[in-house]
Chains A and B, each alone.
Chain A
Amino acid sequence: MISSSPKSRENAWLWLYKIMSGLLIFFVLGLHFLVNHLVEKGGLLSYADVVHYYTNPIIPVIEVTFLVLAVSHSLIGIRSIVLDLNPSGKVLQFIDWCFIALGSAAIFYGIALVIIVVSRATGV
C-alpha cells in the first residue's frame, strides 16, 4: 500500500530547499532585473553594454548564483509534478538522472557563457 522507497526521508530536505531557493530567487531575481533593465539608461541594450557590465566582479557572482538557484528550483519543481503522476521506482530513477544531467548541463553552460563574457570584458 505504501511504496517502501529507500529514499523515503529525502523529500523533506528537497521540499525545504525548494522553498528556500524560491524565496532567495525572489530577491536575486529582483536584483537581476534591476541591474539588467534599470541601472543603465534603458537597460543593457547592446553587446558593448553587457560586456561593460561584466567588468564589475560582483556581477558574475550574482548571475551564477541566480542560475544555480533558478535551475535547481525549477527542476525540483518539475520533479514534484512528475512524482504526482506516480511513476514506478525505475522510471523515477531514470527521470532523476535526466534532471541531474539537464541541470548540470545548464549550469555548466551558463558558467561557460559567463567566463566567455568576462574574458571579453577584461581582455578587450
Chain B
Amino acid sequence: MSSIRWKVTFIITRQRSKSKCYQQPFLLEVDPDEYILDCIERIWAFHDRSLTFRHACHHSTCGACGMRVNGVEKLTCITAIRSVTQDGGTVHIEPLRNFPVLSDLVVDMSTFFLRLEQVNAATVLPLQEACLPGEIKDQPVIESGQYERLVDCIECGLCISACPTALTSSSYQGPATLAAIQQGCQPGNQPFQILLADHEDGVWRCHSAYECSAVCPSNVDPAARIMNLRRRILTQHIRSLFSRQPEEAKNE
C-alpha cells in the first residue's frame, strides 16, 4: 500500500425502516487505491456502529456489496476510490434502487432471489453454455463428461437497480431473471420458463436501454440475452404458425 493519503467525504444515505432517509457525511483519510467497501467498513468500525450494510467475499464473487456510488451502480468491493473521486472530493453512497430498503444500505432482495429460484436459474452449466461473450466454444472433450463452469451471474441486483422498467413496474421479471432463462433454456427444454419470458412482464417489457449490461460487473450481458431470447421466442411462434403439430409437440 502506498503512503498517499486523500481526504474524501463520504455522504451516506441513511434510513431506518419506515422513517425518512437522510444523508450523513463522514470525512475520511483514505489510500486512493483502497476500495469503497473498505471505507464503509472503516466508517462502521470507527465512526458509527449503527451503519448497516452487506459484505461478504470482498472479491466480486458473492454479489452482496452492490450499492450506488455517485449515482452509478457498483460492486463496492472492487471499486477503487481513485476511480470515483479525487483528493478533497465527495462520494455519495446510496442503496440499490428499485428494492425496498430494510436499513441504511441494505435492501430487500427476497423477490429477486425468489424469481431466480422460480426459473431454476442454473449456478453451474456445461462450458458450451457458460462461455464469456465472444469466447470460442471449442473445448476439448474429456472422457469423464463435460467441462463445467460457474455461471457468470452473481445475483448482485445491480441490473435491476439500473433498469428503467424495473423503476416503475414491480411485476417486471428483470434483466437477471430473463438472462437466467436465456442461459438455462435450450429450445424445447424447460418450456414453462419460456412462458414466463414470453409475457408482458417478460422480454416484451424491455425497452433497450442497455443499462443492465452497462452496470453488470460480471459479464452476464443481460441485454444481449434478452434480445437473443426474443429472437428465439419469435422464431418459435412463427414456426408454430406453419407447423401442423400442436404447440406442445414442437419441443424437439
Contacts and interface: CB of A to CB of B under 8 A. Distances in A.
B34 interface: no
Interface residues of B, number: 24
B205 A84 contact: yes
Contacts of B200: 3, 5, 7-8, 10-11, 83
A2 B199 contact: yes
B201 A85 contact: no
Contacts of A3: 171, 200-201
A46 interface: no
Interface in B209-233: 230, 233
A80 B171 CA distance: 14
B165 A12 contact: no
Contacts, number: 53
A14 B204 CA distance: 9
Most buried by A among B164, B168, B233: B168
Nearest to B164: A84
Main secondary structure of the interface of B (DSSP, over half): helix
B237 interface: yes
B58 interface: no
A39 interface: no
A16 interface: yes
B196 interface: yes
A1 B168 contact: no
Interface of A: 1-3, 5, 7-16, 80, 83-86
Given A83-B200, A84-B168, 12 more contacts: A2-B171, A3-B171, A5-B199, A8-B195, A8-B200, A9-B199, A11-B204, A12-B204, A84-B207, A86-B168, A86-B169, A86-B170
9 contacts: A1-B114, A7-B200, A9-B199, A11-B199, A15-B204, A84-B165, A84-B205, A85-B168, A86-B170
